[in-house]
Amino acid sequence: MLKGTKLYSIFNNKCPKCHTGDFFINKNSYNSDFIKMHDKCSYCGELFNKEVGFYYGAMYVSYGVNIIIGIALFMLMVLIFKLGLLTYLFSFLGIVIILFPWLMRISRLIYINIFVKFDSAKK
């Protein structure tokens, strides 16, 4: 993915402003401290914790991402492969539970990318 696009920052765990410094401390989503973030960017100094409760808004992003997964899975399983609704429901729950840490991280990255624009000049 091209550096300078929001998708680069979101999928590579990078600072939304410089796309160089890491956003989360641990690169692995499936670690016990998967949600721990740096206080600020190690490269440009951008603050990641804007204010108390800033990331509550990421819950709405997470909801939206879960809806997209649910609709895509429904179309795949029920409309294309003609599987039952109960099979779909349990598959969806399983996928959402397995993806939970990754979804939390991706939601926070999407949320901060809404508010912070890319700026290649180092401060």
Q: Can you give the binding site for Zn ion, defined by CB under 5 A?
A: 15, 17-18, 21, 41, 43-44, 46
The CA distance from 99 to 111, in Å, is 18
Report the residue number, 44 or 73, with the smaller CB distance to Zn ion. 44
Report the residue number, 21 or 106, with the smaller CB distance to Zn ion. 21
Rounded to the nearest 5 percent, the helix, strand and coil shares of the chain are 50, 5, 40
Chain centroid, CA 69 distance in Å: 13
CA-CA-CA-CA torsion sign (117, 23, 105, 50) = negative
Least distance (Å) from Zn ion to the CB of residue 16? 8
Q: Assign residue 19 a region: left if phi > 0, alpha if psi is -120 to 50, beta otherwise?
A: left
Report the residue number, 35 or 44, with the smaller CB distance to Zn ion. 44
Least distance (Å) from Zn ion to the CB of residue 117? 12
Report the residue number, 41 or 110, with the smaller CB distance to Zn ion. 41
Q: Which amino acid is at 18?
A: C
Least distance (Å) from Zn ion to the CB of residue 119? 9
Least distance (Å) from Zn ion to the CB of residue 6? 14
